[in-house]
């Protein structure tokens, strides 16, 4: 590629990433003045990009906040212990390495051939919550992105029987920690391009990374195929997660169906089965007028 074109594309990518992360932080009030944000660093591309963008945004943010990187060394065979400390020192980032042999626990407890991720993630989550308390962190930042959120939504839909995704901000089950996902609006493809451009020292996971049969990987492949055949479908799906209409679903706890009564006035959100684009169909009032012979 022509160097000038390459520089132009990288500049566009940088602006998009910074805008999307800044927007997610603002939309969900992820970071407040005085926060100490613990950035969970696995060594993968997502957490590297997360730290990189937060460091950059902190320089221009209207609020003052701290960053501390935390890596959980799970004692996976061949894990290069020196890589992250050397990188973080080079970036001038305060960090903490927590060493816990969760690898042996997971391999011992989970039978060969079964999914390791569930137990591994629960163990990791508990340790990171404890470390956050010990470090005085007020926020825990994770590197999940837009594609992770969509995959989780479909996994819950297909296999869990729930309309549930991965929230950009949540309070932990014990009520003591706030977890944030500043990359919620960012496409994985853009993260991979930025990680390649920045030449981060990527460390692959030998647990989940070795399991090709994972349902999440199959759903990820499905989403990639959809986007390839129908460009824009993932943007539409992701947008739908922020435009929920409880009255048009079946959850009686989310909407008071039992209390519904005629109210005697027109409801623009009414009873359309499949909402068309405005240019494709007349308004409800016009349609009624046609039926009444008024037009």
Domains observed in the chain: 3-240 (3.40.50.620), 246-291 (no CATH)
Taking the CA of residue 287 as centre, how many other CA atoms within 13 Å lie in the half-sphere pointing to its CB? 8
pTM of the model: 0.85
Number of neighbouring beta carbons within 10 Å of residue 263 = 7
**pLDDT of the chain, 295 residues: tens digit per residue:** 688 898 999 999 999 999 999 999 999 999 999 999 999 999 999 999 999 999 999 998 888 999 999 998 877 888 888 999 999 999 999 999 998 877 777 666 665 655 656 656 777 888 899 999 999 999 999 999 999 999 999 999 999 999 999 999 999 888 899 999 999 999 999 999 999 999 999 998 655 554 455 788 899 999 999 999 999 999 999 999 999 999 999 999 999 999 998 877 776 566 555 555 544 445 555 544 545 554 4
Say how many residues make up the chain: 295
Q: Are strands 95-99 and 66-73 parallel, antiparallel or unpaired?
A: parallel
Distance CA 259, CA 76 (A): 56
Pairing of strands 36-40, 66-73: parallel
Cβ-Cβ contacts under 8 Å for 1 (sequence gap 6 or more):
9
């Amino acid at each position: 590629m022509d160097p000038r074109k390459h520089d132009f594309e990288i500049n566009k990518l940088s602006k998009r990433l910074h805008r999307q992360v800044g927007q997610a932080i603002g939309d969900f009030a992820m970071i407040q003045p005085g926060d100490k944000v613990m950035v969970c660093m696995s060594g993968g591309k997502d957490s590297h990009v997360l730290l990189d963008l937060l460091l950059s945004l902190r320089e221009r943010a209207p609020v003052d906040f701290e960053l501390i990187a935390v890596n959980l060394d799970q004692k996976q065979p061949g894990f290069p212990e020196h890589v992250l400390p050397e990188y973080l020192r080079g970036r001038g980032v305060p960090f903490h390495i927590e060493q816990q042999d969760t690898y042996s626990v997971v391999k011992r407890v989970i039978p060969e051939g079964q999914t390791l991720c569930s137990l591994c993630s629960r163990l990791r989550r508990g340790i990171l919550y404890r470390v956050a308390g010990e470090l005085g962190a007020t926020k825990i930042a994770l590197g999940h992105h837009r594609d992770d959120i969509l995959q989780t939504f479909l996994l819950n839909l297909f296999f869990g029987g729930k309309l549930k995704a991965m929230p950009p901000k949540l309070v932990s089950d014990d009520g003591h920690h706030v977890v944030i996902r500043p990359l919620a609006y960012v496409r994985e493809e853009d993260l991979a391009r930025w990680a390649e451009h920045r030449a981060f020292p990527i460390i692959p996971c030998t647990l989940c990374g070795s399991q090709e049969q994972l349902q999440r990987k199959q759903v990820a492949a499905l989403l990639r195929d959809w986007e390839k055949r129908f460009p824009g479908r993932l943007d539409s799906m992701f947008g739908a997660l922020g435009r929920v209409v409880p009255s048009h679903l079946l959850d009686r706890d989310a909407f008071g169906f039992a209390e519904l009564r005629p109210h005697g006035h027109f409801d623009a959100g009414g009873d359309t089965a499949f909402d068309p684009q405005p240019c494709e169909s007349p308004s409800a009032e016009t349609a009624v007028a046609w039926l009444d012979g008024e037009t």
